[in-house]
Chain A
Amino acid sequence: DQQVKQNSPSLSVQEGRISILNCDYTNSMFDYFLWYKKYPAEGPTFLISISSIKDKNEDGRFTVFLNKSAKHLSLHIVPSQPGDSAVYFCAASGRASGTYKYIFGTGTRLKVLA
Chain B
Amino acid sequence: GAVVSQHPSRVICKSGTSVKIECRSLDFQATTMFWYRQFPKQSLMLMATSNEGSKATYEQGVEKDKFLINHASLTLSTLTVTSAHPEDSSFYICSALRGGEKLFFGSGTQLSVL
Contact of B43 among A42, A43, A106 (CB under 8 A): A106
Q: Is the CB–CB distance between A34 and B103 below 8 Å?
A: yes
Q: Is the interface of B mostly helix, strand, loop or mixed?
A: strand
Quick one: which of A42, A44, A101 contacts B46, CB cutoff 8 A?
A: A101
The segment out of B62-70, B77-85, B106-114 that lies at the interface is: B106-114
Contact B42 A106 (CB under 8 A): yes
Number of B interface residues at 8 Å Cβ cutoff, please give it: 24
Which A residues are in CB contact (< 8 Å) with B44? Answer: 44, 89, 104
Mask of A29-51 contacts with B, CB within 8 angstroms, 1/0: 00010101000011111100100
A54 interface residue (CB < 8 Å to B) = no
For the complex formed, measure the closest distance between the CB of B93 and the CB atoms of chain A, giving whole angstroms.
5
Give residues 55-114 of B contacting A (CB, 8 Å). Answer: 91, 93, 95, 97, 100-108, 110
B99 → chain A closest CB, angstroms: 11
- Interface extent on A, as a size class? 20 to 34
Say yes or no: A100 contacts B100, CB within 8 Å: yes
Measured between beta carbons, the chain B residues less than 8 angstroms from A103 are 46
Which residues of A sit under 8 angstroms from B49, Cβ to Cβ?
100-101
**A101: B residues at CB distance < 8 A:** 34, 46, 49
Q: Is A102 an interface residue (CB 8 A)?
A: yes
A100-B97, A102-B34, A103-B46 given as contacts; is B110 within 8 A of A46 (CB)?
no
Say yes or no: B34 contacts A42, CB within 8 Å.
no
Minimum CB–CB distance for B44 against chain A, Å: 5
